[in-house]
């Protein structure tokens, strides 16, 4: 057992310990430190522990929080709220897209479809009025891209091009290398599809698709910020729309690594359909 003396008397100048006056349970302003809690061993002096929050009155209060969390202040004397780091990225994401890099993308059109590059930060896909027409862009396989790996979140920012959504199909897929284009819904992929305006979170393993309706409709001029976040490698993917979690998928996930991106639309009647691609952001490792 360690013995301590509560005070050591001194007066300035401090040329020796005998000139120093310290009260070990007070701070330098002479205010008593309270609520330190019991020591965890008989060799330990009273002290704050990891996770303790110091108050402005020199007290200590205990707060427990989960792993992979950030704390958001809630005001003086109020327990902070937890923020999940990945969810925080979704809620407060701000991105800038520049379609001047379009030379890395390949156009895919059929029937009366067209790809229109009319703005630095925008690419427009239009089907024209021939039924069954496609308009799409896609990028070659990226070895370090995997929508089922926790290091590879993917963000898409799209907008309806001011046209009715009936008789239309939009597919925004991150697809495994070697899959055919235009994609089938059972192709190995993770992404989004919009069928007659209704937005679905979707993935498939090459045989079976898992799809969840988000309940959101892409009405005229509607803007969608779509975020795909793998939270467990090749075991769980979360889908966010405009910052809100809409689906968590754990079945029929495609394999890791070597993916490309397909962004395309198709009409199913003799009506012009359109989508504006604002931003595509992804991380490849």
Residue 213 and residue 116 share a domain: yes
Helix, strand, coil share (%) of the chain residues, nearest 5: 5, 45, 50
Burial 154-164 (b: 16+ CB within 10 A, else e): bbbbbbbbebe
Domain end position, chosen among 19, 48, 64: 64
If pLDDT is split at 50, 70 and 90, which confidence band does 66 have?
low
Q: What is the pLDDT of residues 218-255, one digit of tens each?
A: 999 999 999 999 999 999 999 999 999 999 999 999 99
Residue 118 and residue 228 share a domain: yes
Residue 236 and residue 105 share a domain: yes
Q: Which residues contact 117 (CB under 8 A, 6 or more apart)?
A: 99, 102, 123, 124
> pTM score, two decimals?
0.68
Which phi and psi (to 5°) does residue 17 adopt? -60, -30
Three state DSSP letters for 218-275: CCCCCEEEEEEEEEECCCEEEEEECCEEEEEECCCCCCCCCEEEEEEEEECCCCCCEE
Summarize the confidence of residues 41-60 as an average pLDDT: 45
pLDDT at position 137 is 94
Residue 268 and residue 257 share a domain: yes
Summarize the confidence of residues 85-99 as an average pLDDT: 49
Residue 75 and residue 19 share a domain: no
Residue 158 and residue 74 share a domain: no
Residue 112 and residue 76 share a domain: no
Q: Tell whether the model's pLDDT for residue 79 goes beyond 80.
A: no
Burial 44-73 (b: 16+ CB within 10 A, else e): eeeebeeebeeeeeebbeeeeeeeeeeeee
pLDDT at position 279 is 87
Residue 113 and residue 175 share a domain: yes
CATH of the domain at 135: 2.60.120.200
Which phi and psi (to 5°) does residue 85 adopt? -60, -45
Domain count, the chain: 3
Residue 181 and residue 57 share a domain: no
Residue 276 and residue 144 share a domain: yes
Span between the terminal Cα atoms of the chain, in Å: 54
Q: How many of the other CB atoms lie within 10 Å of CB of 235?
A: 13
Range(s) of the domain holding residue 82: 67-94
Residue 87 and residue 48 share a domain: no
Angle at the Cα of 136 (from 257 to 140), degrees rounded to 5? Answer: 30
Residue 18 and residue 104 share a domain: no
């Amino acid at each position: 057992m360690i013995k301590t003396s509560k005070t050591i008397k001194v007066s300035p100048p401090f040329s020796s310990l005998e000139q120093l006056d310290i009260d070990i349970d007070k701070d330098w302003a002479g205010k008593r430190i309270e609520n330190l809690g019991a020591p965890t061993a008989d060799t330990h002096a009273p002290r704050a522990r990891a996770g303790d929050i110091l108050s402005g009155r020199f007290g200590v209060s205990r707060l427990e929080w989960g792993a992979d969390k950030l704390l958001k202040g809630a005001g003086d004397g109020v327990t902070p709220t937890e923020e999940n780091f990945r969810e925080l990225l979704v809620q407060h994401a701000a991105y800038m897209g520049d379609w001047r890099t379009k030379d890395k993308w390949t156009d895919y059109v059929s029937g009366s479809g067209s790809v229109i590059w009319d703005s630095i930060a925008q690419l427009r896909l239009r089907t024209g009025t021939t039924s069954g027409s496609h308009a799409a862009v896609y990028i070659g396989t990226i070895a370090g891209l995997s929508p089922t790996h926790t290091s590879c979140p993917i963000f898409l920012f799209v907008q309806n091009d001011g046209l009715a959504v009936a008789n239309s199909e939009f597919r925004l897929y991150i697809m495994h290398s070697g899959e055919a284009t235009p994609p089938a819904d059972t192709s190995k992929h993770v992404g989004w599809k919009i069928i007659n305006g209704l937005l679905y979170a979707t993935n498939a393993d090459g045989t079976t698709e898992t799809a969840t309706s988000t309940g959101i409709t892409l009405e005229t001029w509607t803007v969608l910020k779509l975020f795909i976040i793998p939270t467990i490698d090749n075991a769980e993917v979360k889908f966010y729309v405009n910052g809100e979690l809409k689906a968590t998928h754990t079945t029929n996930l495609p394999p890791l690594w070597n993916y490309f991106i397909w962004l395309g639309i198709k009409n199913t009647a003799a009506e012009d359909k359109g989508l504006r691609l604002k931003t595509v952001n992804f991380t490849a490792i």
